[in-house]
Chain A
Amino acid sequence: DAGVTQSPTHLIKTRGQQVTLRCSPISGHKSVSWYQQVLGQGPQFIFQYYEKEERGRGNFPDRFSARQFPNYSSELNVNALLLGDSALYLCASSSTGDGNTIYFGEGSWLTVV
């Protein structure tokens, strides 16, 4: 079975531009979360979606938004990119049930120049 898949794997954007990152969860997983990992730090929680509804939001500005589709895939959008948005963006999925393991994708490397 395929794991969590993310696209694109790498991209370069200019300050002020907008970016959309995509994620497909593991088959059967209905919960998708997004994390930002800046070089040298641990991942930071951005969003969680379950059954197309936002279930949690981290301490990120409104420039960050996300959505989940009926097939449980998800998109993360970042508007008005700043140099500090350069990071590895990780998508994670899990099945329903408390205590279930959260599995991560390989991430999307975003460089803002």
Chain B
Amino acid sequence: AQSVAQPEDQVNVAEGNPLTVKCTYSVSGNPYLFWYVQYPNRGLQFLLKYITGDNLVKGSYGFEAEFNKSQTSFHLKKPSALVSDSALYFCAVRFPYGNNRLAFGKGNQVVVIP
């Protein structure tokens, strides 16, 4: 069964400091990995994805994520957090060559403190 873990409920970071949101997965094979962001009362916005290739993936709004196969992790990072980055972040996994079913983690609330 697919499983995505986002171990922290909330991540607090001061504005201007580096931001990291952790994600690990426990699936076999070579899944596709995604990060989405959700602002209050809104849908999900795509940030970035890892399919294959370079382990460091760059996405929207200055975010990047590093795929680590040995640690089965896909942590989201941003070098310098903005107050506007305060939102709910979801990691998701999908198997290749199958349907478009995404399995999501529980989400991490990020609070950027001015």
Could you list which residues of chain A lie within 8 angstroms of chain B, going by C-beta atoms?
Answer: 4, 31, 33, 35, 41-45, 48, 50, 55-56, 58, 90, 92, 94, 98-99, 101-107, 109
The number of residues on chain B lying at the interface, defined by a beta carbon within 8 Å of a beta carbon of chain A, is 28
Known: A92-B44, A94-B100. 20 other contacts (CB 8 A): A33-B100, A33-B101, A42-B90, A42-B92, A43-B90, A43-B102, A43-B104, A44-B104, A48-B100, A50-B99, A55-B99, A56-B99, A56-B101, A92-B100, A92-B102, A98-B97, A99-B96, A101-B46, A104-B45, A107-B43
CB neighbours of B97 from chain A (8 A): 98
Closest B residue to A105 by beta carbon equals B43
Secondary structure class of chain A's binding surface, majority of residues: strand
| CA A105 to CA B46, docked complex, whole Å | 11
| CA A111 to CA B44, docked complex, whole Å | 20
Given B32, B44, B49, B100, which contacts A43 in the complex, CB threshold below 8 Å?
A: B44
With known contacts A48-B99, A98-B96, A41–B106 Cβ distance under 8 A: yes
Given B42, B102, B105, which contacts A102 in the complex, CB threshold below 8 Å?
A: B102
In the assembled complex, 22 residue pairs joining A and B whose CB atoms fall closer than 8 Å, in A order, are A4-B43, A33-B101, A33-B102, A41-B107, A42-B104, A43-B102, A48-B99, A56-B98, A56-B100, A58-B101, A90-B43, A90-B44, A92-B44, A92-B100, A99-B51, A99-B52, A101-B34, A102-B94, A104-B43, A104-B45, A105-B43, A109-B41
| CA A45 to CA B42, docked complex, whole Å | 18
